[in-house]
Amino acid sequence: MKFVDSCEVKVVAGDGGRGCVAFRRERYIPHGGPSGGDGGKGGDIVFAADAGKTTLLDVAISRRLVGERGEHGRGKDQYGKTGRDLVVHVPVGTQVFDTATNELLFDMDALEKRAVIARGGRGGRGNIHFATPYDRAPRRADPGETGQELNLRLELKVMADVGLLGFPNVGKSTFIRSVSHARPKVADYPFTTLVPHLGVVAVDSDHSFVVADIPGLIPGAASGAGLGIRFLKHVERTRALLHLVAVDPGEGRDPVKDFDAINAELAAFDPKLAERPQVVAMTKADLPDSQEAYKKARRRFAKRGIDLKLVSAATGAGVRELLFALYALVKKA
């Protein structure tokens, strides 16, 4: 399924039905009086946060969401039927903005949360409401109100406790595959991961947390380089960050410089994001080059007050200890 995390849509709530002008015409009841019923209320547009949804694709395809119109009033005091609400299921973490003002209207940040995005118009009053001692046969009724119309922009920001950060090919996808049932693609070329992946990590039988595998970042990401700003927003809601670094002699990569480069992009995107608590780990501990480089890198990180960990998703070395450290950070946050 195509991953869509941003789209624009027009929502049109249902119009209210017209009130009716009618009179009782029955045998043996002269001067029966007005009997026009009210029109029904138009249907609302309702967004519901659904755990089964992971993309805004359905909404993006629709482009226009329209509520059902309320029925018109009828004679014999019959009121029109209320229009059915249109319930639109969106992923948890969807934010709803007004395209004209860029104002955040709703934030679907909790499972099963519901919000009335646009309200249907009220039904018009029938002529039974206009009878007075001076006008016992009113020939007037109200038209139904029109439903709300809004042009909206939807932004999806994944809901996770921990966000995975790092350059392309540092082992983020391999790590999340080893600790959860998430199955992102793994290959030996940059930007293998093109969309965020969520995985539930079980620390023990009673405790777990959610990890988001974010596509790899490179210098200039906050300005759009690589996959850029499109996916930086997905770490905004995380409570903690797992920053993975790796040694790649072929590309002359340095773990400390990589760490600084990624944090500089976080600060450029959102200064508060750069202050988010982090656990830093060097991956690929099963490779001799990583084991040798870890000793030097650990001393350099220690000077910054950072306890650099060493893990191998392939063999599981150091992974359990890393998960406990992440869970403690999440719980504290």
pLDDT tens sequence across 262-317: 888 788 878 887 788 888 988 888 877 778 888 888 898 888 888 988 888 888 88
CATH 3.40.50.450 fits 162-332, yes or no: no
Q: Are 123 and 41 in contact (CB under 8 A)?
A: yes
More confident residue, 249 or 117: 117
pLDDT, position 111? 85
pLDDT tens readout for residues 75-104: 988 999 999 999 999 988 899 999 999 999
- 188 pLDDT exceeds 70? no
- 117 pLDDT exceeds 90? yes
Confidence of residue 187 (pLDDT cuts 50, 70, 90): very low
pLDDT, position 71? 95
Q: Exposed (0-12), middle (13-18) or buried (19+): which is 318, by Cβ within 10 Å?
A: middle
Q: Judging by DSSP bridges, how do beta strands 309-310 and 278-282 pair with one another?
A: parallel
pLDDT, position 1? 47
Q: Are 124 and 73 in contact (CB under 8 A)?
A: yes
b/e 242-280 (16+ beta carbons within 10 angstroms → b):
bbbbbbbeeeebbbbebbebbbebbebbeeebbebebbb
- 184 pLDDT exceeds 70? no
pLDDT tens readout for residues 226-251: 455 566 777 777 888 888 888 765 56
Which residue in the block uniquely carries the two structure tokens 């934010």?
A: 95
Q: What are the DSSP E strand ranges found in the chain?
A: 6-12, 45-50, 64-66, 86-91, 94-98, 104-108, 114-118, 149-156, 162-165, 197-202, 208-213, 240-245, 278-282, 309-310
- Provide the CATH topology of domain 6-156: Spo0b-associated Gtp-binding Protein; Chain: A, (2.70.210)
pLDDT tens readout for residues 9-62: 999 999 999 999 999 887 777 777 899 999 999 999 999 998 888 788 889 888
- 223 pLDDT exceeds 60? no
The residues spanned by each domain of the chain are 6-156, 162-332
More confident residue, 145 or 194: 145
- 258 pLDDT exceeds 90? no
What do you get for the CA distance between the two ends of the chain, in Å?
A: 33
Confidence of residue 225 (pLDDT cuts 50, 70, 90): very low
pLDDT, position 190? 43
pLDDT, position 251? 60
Query: Residue 329: what are its φ and ψ, rounded to 5°?
Result: -70, -40
Instruction: Report the alpha-carbon distance of residue 316 to residue 311 in Å, rounded.
Output: 7
- Total residues found in the chain within this entry: 333
pLDDT, position 330? 84
Whether the domain at 6-156 and the domain at 162-332 fall into the same CATH topology: no
pLDDT, position 221? 44
